[in-house]
Structure 1
Amino acid sequence: MEYYKINYYDQFKCLADKCPETCCAGWQIVIDEESLDKYKAIGGSLLEGIDLEQECFYQDREGRCAFLRKDNLCEIYKECGASYLCDTCRMYPRHVEEFEGERELTISISCPEGIRLLLAQEKPLFFTHTRDEETEFFEEFDTVLYRFLKETRKELLRLIYDSEISYSELRGQLLGAGEILQSYTDEEDLEEVEAANLWQKRSLTSDFAGDYRREVRGGWKLMKVHCEFRDPGFVQMADQSLAAPERKETKKLPEFDFYFRQLLAYFILSYYTGAAYSANPLAIVKMALFNVELIRSLWQANLECEQPEEARELLENISSSYSRELEHSWENMNALEDLVVEELYLKG
């Protein structure tokens, strides 16, 4: 088994009761079968906090887990130890993408410490590599497409981190790259394709020549129709922010250009190779771009001063809040993927 971990993966450490946004409230926490068997063996008052039919923890009226204490620490962890945490609680915010013989691991930016770690990286993101002796086989897994995606992801990251092109230019070139990748996926014998030469053979000019902010507004309206949101406060903030007049580009915060590139790289690293199952790399590129453009639009609309520390804190909060609405709901992720295929970044 090959393991690929985002470069700061092992730096993550839960903030526990010091976290400004507990992960033990606001969403259903599903319990895996092995952990549920442990809880049943203990029995007693422990089972009073568990919905055995739905296989999840009960929540109070504020959406807090039945075992989340007032000091924001976990009662199960305190009384039984880390080995009794269910898979969801043990793994979060670690995100795993599974492929035949390989695993890709990232840290979700829905976690305040996760987004802090991401934006603290001063150099381009990359994966570290380890392996063990475990083996497995996936039926009907398209190994050729997966290898093509892994190689072309390197080219996408080179494009994202190309300091010779502005962020504004990057958007169009990234879409153009996605369109090229989709055409190869649809039409070519991928075993014969050299990923490093793709951009030389075709122009990176995208078919899309429209207004990115208009796409963000339209996409957000569609998300409200097709997605379910956990936090009405975030929805209200996004509505107000996107309805407000567009602010001028910030001039005193050039380092934020790199932060938005890091966010693009995060979404590409986390989800691009998942196109091995959908055969639609353009959809993942579009989704990454839309996510970052939405985050960027909300950040600009709510930026009241250009002090770097305050501006970065605002970016962290918006990124984390949006990720909580999107990345932990497969229904929302699938809905957005459908939207970017059918509705967004079409020919201008």
Structure 2
Amino acid sequence: MKHYFPKYCEKFRCIANLCPDSCCRDWDVVVDDTSFDFYNTVKGEFGDRLRSLMTIDEDGDRIFIRQGENCPFWNSDMLCDIYINLGENHLCHTCKEFPRITQDYTVFCEHTLSFACPEAARLMLESDFDTGFATDIPQDLQTDYSTTEMNFLLSARKRTFEILSDCKMSLSERLCRLLAFNERVQNMLDDEIFDITAMPTDEYKKQSCGDASFIFDLHKSLDIMSKDWLCELEATADFAKNNTLSNRFDKPLTAYLDYCVRRYYLSAIDSFNVISTIKRMVCAYIVTAYELERLENPTQAKVVKILQGYSKEVEHSYENGELLEDEFIFNPLFSTDNLIGIL
């Protein structure tokens, strides 16, 4: 099996108590069965503490019982008591792996990092465009999906990366082209036409549409962890009504959208839905670009915080993912033509 890594994956190291937004805050930590079995063998006071601080949530997952908004094992020095007492090998799977993301496509794996981690976000924002991703696979491999369809998606994704990385155009122009191109790719998927030689164009026509308030309204309806983020979202929505976007943040925004392509595009091999990835990117662009535009001269740390915060609030919730998909499919406001009109 081939493994593909962007260069920034090799550079990542957890910065522990130096992290400006620890993953030990806000999220429930799911305890996998292997870790649970081991924790049941831990003796003494710490073992008793481990077992007393686990429960089953409403989804049937075994989790640590948060203290306020924090993991109960995140101590006053902002370090992990499980790590200190039992070592890194006995962290549960979630804590051991985050922010590393592995996407297994049977005959190849692609690896990336989650933008929800501040240190990972910093590395991705500082990296140049990276070609550490698959572009084709042999036709004779044994998979539980069509290799012809996968190669079609890989070819379409390669073109998507090329459009996204073309800095001769503004990012809003690139997003219009990505919408037009991938709408045609979606049509080919729907018609089961997996002809790489017939790859569509990215030409489009733009008609003037209304404002982007419906995108902000959708985000306000999501499962939001932080009241501060909701307040920021509401303030940005108000700002967007009377202001327009410049191109001054195109570079960091492109880095985030590149990550979105890596993380979501090939899920179409199961969902047969490729256009939702691009619509997700447009929504992320609108919200974060206006949030950045509100700031006169933000530091790099502030840019990281805004993009990382968006990823943390929107991406790491199954319910949010389902709600976004439903809106993209059924709400006419999220049609390709309408989204092109507001960009």
What is the match of residue 204 of structure 1? 203
Task: Output one character per residue of 1:237-276: Cα deviation in whole Å (capped at 9) or x when no partner.
Answer: 101111125445457x4xx322222222111111101111
Work out whether residues 31 and 55 of structure 1, in 8 Å CA contact, stay in contact via their aligned partners in 2: yes
What is the match of residue 25 of structure 2? 25
**CA, structure 1 residues 48+143, in 2 after alignment: closer, same or farther (shift >3 Å)?**
same
Shift of 1:188: 4.5
Higher relative contact order (CA 8 A, sep 6+): 1
Shift of 1:285: 1.3
Aligned runs of 1:234-313 on 2, under 5 Å? 234-244=229-239, 245-250=241-246, 253=248, 256-301=249-294, 303=295, 305-306=296-297, 310-313=298-301
Aligned runs of 1:8-47 on 2, under 5 Å? 8-42=8-42, 43-47=47-51
Matches of 1:138 and 1:158, distance apart in 2: 27
Moved more, 64-73 or 4-13: 4-13
- TM-score under structure 2 length normalisation: 0.87
Q: Which amino acid aligns with 1:111?
A: C
Work out whether residues 3 and 102 of structure 1, in 8 Å CA contact, stay in contact via their aligned partners in 2: yes
- Give the alignment partner of residue 104 of structure 2, picking from 98, 101, 112: 98
- Give the alignment partner of residue 153 of structure 2, picking from 149, 152, 155: 149
Work out whether residues 155 and 196 of structure 2, in 8 Å CA contact, stay in contact via their aligned partners in 1: no
Shift of 1:98: 2.5
What is the match of residue 58 of structure 1? 65
Work out whether residues 100 and 138 of structure 1, in 8 Å CA contact, stay in contact via their aligned partners in 2: yes
What is the match of residue 193 of structure 1? 196
Structure 1, unpaired ranges of 5+: 130-135
Task: Output one character per residue of 1:109-136: Cα deviation in whole Å (capped at 9) or x when no partner.
Answer: 1111111111111x2132167xxxxxx9
What is the match of residue 330 of structure 2? 342
Matches of 1:318 and 1:273, distance apart in 2: 26
Task: Output one character per residue of 1:199-227: Cα deviation in whole Å (capped at 9) or x when no partner.
Answer: 4xx45215x63448x23x202212333x2
Shift of 1:278: 0.8
The reply to whether residue 84 of structure 1 matches residue 90 of structure 2 is yes
Q: Which amino acid aligns with 1:107?
A: L
Matches of 2:157 and 2:15, distance apart in 1: 32
Matches of 1:128 and 1:341, distance apart in 2: 28
Work out whether residues 210 and 347 of structure 1, in 8 Å CA contact, stay in contact via their aligned partners in 2: no
What is the match of residue 131 of structure 2? 126
Task: Output one character per residue of 1:267-324: Cα deviation in whole Å (capped at 9) or x when no partner.
Answer: 11111011111111111111122212211111112x1x33xxx343222111111111
Matches of 1:335 and 1:6, distance apart in 2: 30
Of all paired residues, the percent bearing the same amino acid is 25
What is the match of residue 217 of structure 2? 221
Matches of 2:307 and 2:180, distance apart in 1: 25
Shift of 1:24: 0.8
Secondary structure of 1:56 counterpart: strand
Matches of 1:165 and 1:248, distance apart in 2: 17
Matches of 2:236 and 2:288, distance apart in 1: 11
Matches of 2:186 and 2:97, distance apart in 1: 33
Q: Which amino acid aligns with 1:125?
A: D
Total equivalences in the alignment: 322
Cα RMSD (Å) of the superposition? 2.2
Q: Which amino acid aligns with 1:148?
A: F
Secondary structure of 1:220 counterpart: helix
Secondary structure of 1:22 counterpart: coil
Secondary structure of 1:79 counterpart: helix
